[in-house]
Amino acid sequence: MLLGHCGQLAENGIFALFYRRGQHKTGHGIAVGKQRFNQCFQVSHARSRHFQQEIVATGEVMAFAHFFKRVHVLKQSIVVLSCATHADKSQYSEPERFAIDLYGVSAQNADFFHLLETFGCGGRRKADAASKLGEAQPGIHLKLVQKLSTVVVHQCRGIHCHSDRSYVIRAQTRERRFHSACTEKPARSTISLMQTVILNGQSLTLAEIEAVSRAGCPVALDPAALARVEQSRTSIEKILTEGQTVYGVNTGFGKLSDVRIPSERLAELQINLVRSHAGGVGEPLSEAESRAMVLLRANVLAKGFSGVRPQLLELLISLLNAGVHPVIPEKGSVGASGDLAPLAHLALVVVGEGEALHRGERVSGGEALRRAGLAPLSLSAKEGLALLNGTQAMTAVGALATSRAMRVVRLSDLSGAMSLEALKGTPAAFDPRIHLARPHAGQVASAAHLLRLLEGSEIRESHREHDTRVQDAYCLRCMPQVHGAVRDVLEHVGGILEIEAGSATDNPLIFPEEDGERGGAGTVISGGNFHGAPLAYALDYAASAVTDLGCITERRIDRLLNPDINEGLPAFLSTDPGVSSGFMIAQIVAAALINECQVLSHPSSTGSIPTDGGKEDHVSMGMTGAIKLRQIVEHSERILAIELMCAAQALEFRRPLKSSAQIERAHEAVRSVVTRLEQDRVLAPDINALAQAISSGAIDAWCD
């Protein structure tokens, strides 16, 4: 039923759910009116996000359905989220009945948090995407719907629609599933479940980018995209045949754009452009980041606005599937005109030059192609520029870093809950009524998550009565407010990255659809889509948020170790304080990492420096922002690892009392990576091992 209805919704280009009044059988509930909501709003070219709804239902409050937008649109985008609680569904329309079935909400389970997974049409859009699923009821105002109640919205599952005119609906887990509670059995990694990723020039999700980049999922080209690329190339050929002068096709570049290049030297122009711009320096990007760059550049070319030959696009896809990864220095891009230097190093491998990794061995680009059974390509008009102009380096690094940051913030709830238990804190501050009074989606989700993690704790019950403390410190009490805000920041940044993953960012752009009107070479327009400002601002935003997440984590670490404030735990969690220093150095390391994050979180997007003789007089510095964010996320993984180590040790000092079942399983997961600190030992390998487990997703499996 799910796939069938999602197919219908995807075919209409709509992501819509419906709100329906629900009344608790005891008489409590929210007076939301008696109108039946069977209204969905038109969505034009919408790329819907993938959500998870956590609906808080108690004996006094039956149903919450706060409207929350997370779709990105060119025109109007409205998503109506709903819950329905009537057992008798016969009176509802088909879409409403589907919503009820999907959510599975009933009056019988109104006394606990419901974790609901919904669906989305992930980035696969149709030109005619705007259709209604029912007749709109007159007099229903959107703001009224918004005020009815609150639903917590976060990423979970999605339906990704791959188009070859008939939509193939493929249900898959989006990224790592939201970490709501620990399970007895480890869940499989999201990216290991993904199938072939189809490129058609539309937005890729962070999950798809990570799947191809880190898990090596294969890639294929949508036939419809191939047709668009061929049409776009035909426009370039017409320009050359008619002798027109068009920037990037038969002119110089940048400051030299006024120089006309004769037709017999156009191939020389393109290869010279690639070679001259391959001036990147510094350490090479990781293989995952290199793969992400190739993937994103191929997807952008598949939009059909770049004027390249199909052979070029097919070669990029072949590089991915054959495991040929260009060696790309990470420094040298100012983020406009795009990531010129990094993309030039990518382009070198396309023409059989430069360097590449093949099966882990670093060889020349030509040798890597030979080993993979591929032939280098001689660039034709416009193709060198089409490879270089774009934001794919900052998007690749930023997308992978953001995916890792999302993992860190979700696991921070877990580590924070473990610390709260070890410090005999109270979950009172996570009461849903507090957070529904300030209904930021991430905040309410984090509070709900923490409550679930702590449910059934013996430690909590041991100090429920006769505890003279009134409130916990902010680092414990304000976890939902801080962790939740970071979730919302990363959700916003992830949306920007996903839009960019399906955006034409080179220059000029070719619009061949004009051919039919004029019978000529279409319209070629020079613009500035290569400017990385949207990404640069977002990456700086994420860097600040993740840095502060590390700050609050470090404060919990100190509270676990400091004998003056750790509620009777041994000093520095040492089994023999004085003779042994325990985790003393671990907090110092965390402080050092935080200080570096604080420096790195200074914005790079405000540091524009004119380049190219003043022609490119304002640049984004987005690649700098992406590299900074990656480093901050790496540090945050290490800080989180330190808290998990310390919290696991602290919980053991509370024995024989045990925490909740979820936290006890998480404790076992930590112990599967690092052992208890019985006496002083070198802590660096432990920190690194646990940080690697966090980064790779190994810990995710225990907290799904």
List active site positions: 247
Q: Which residue has 């948020």 as its token pair?
A: 545
291 three-state secondary structure: helix
Q: Are 447 and 434 in contact (CB under 8 A)?
A: yes
Q: Mind spelling out the 3-state secondary structure of 327-343? A: CCEEECCCCCCCCHHHH
3-state secondary structure 164-206: CCCEEEEEEECCCCCCCCCCCCCCCCHHHHCCCEEECCCCCCH
Sign for the pseudo-dihedral over CA of 318, 220, 338, 527: positive
DSSP state of 569: P
Name which of 507, 619, 509 is nearest 257 in CA terms.
Answer: 507
Length of the chain: 704
Q: Which two tokens stand for residue 596?
A: 């570096």
- Kindly provide the residue ranges of all beta strands, DSSP E only, lying in 174-301, ordered along the sequence: 197-199, 219-221, 281-284
Helix-then-strand count for the chain, H and E: 24, 14
What's the number of CA atoms in the CB half-sphere (13 Å) around residue 246? 28
Amino acid making up residue 400: L
Q: Is the dihedral of CA 203, 79, 536, 211 positive or negative?
A: negative
Residue 665's CB is within 10 A of a number of other CB atoms, namely: 16
Give me 159's structure tokens.
């339906």
| Cβ(18)–Cβ(95) below 8 Å | yes
**Cα–Cα distance measured from residue 558 to residue 572, given in angstroms and rounded to the nearest whole number:** 9
**Euclidean distance between CA atoms 295 and 324, whole angstroms:** 12
Map 60-123 to HEC letters: CCCCCCCCCCCCECCCCCCCCCCCCCCCCCCCCCHHHHHHHHHHCCCHHHCCCCEEEECCCECC
**DSSP codes, 120-168:** -B-S---TT----SSPPPTT--HHHHHHS---EEE--EEEEEEESSSEE
Instruction: Mention every residue, 6+ apart, whose C-beta is less than 8 A from residue 637.
Output: 404, 408, 691, 694, 695
Q: What are phi and psi of 282, to 5 degrees?
A: 90, -175
Whole-Å CA distances, 605 to 32, 388, 535, 619, 692:
45, 21, 9, 8, 30
The Cα–Cα gap between 165 and 167 comes to 6
Beta bridge partners of 144: none
Helix or strand or coil: residue 556?
helix
Contact 655, 639 (CB under 8 A): no
DSSP state of 570: P
Q: How far apart are alpha carbons 299 and 303 in whole angstroms?
A: 7
Cβ(566)–Cβ(423) below 8 Å: yes
- Distance, in Å, from the CA atom of 690 to the CA atom of 677, rounded to the nearest integer, reads 14
E strand or H helix that includes residue 670: helix 661-671
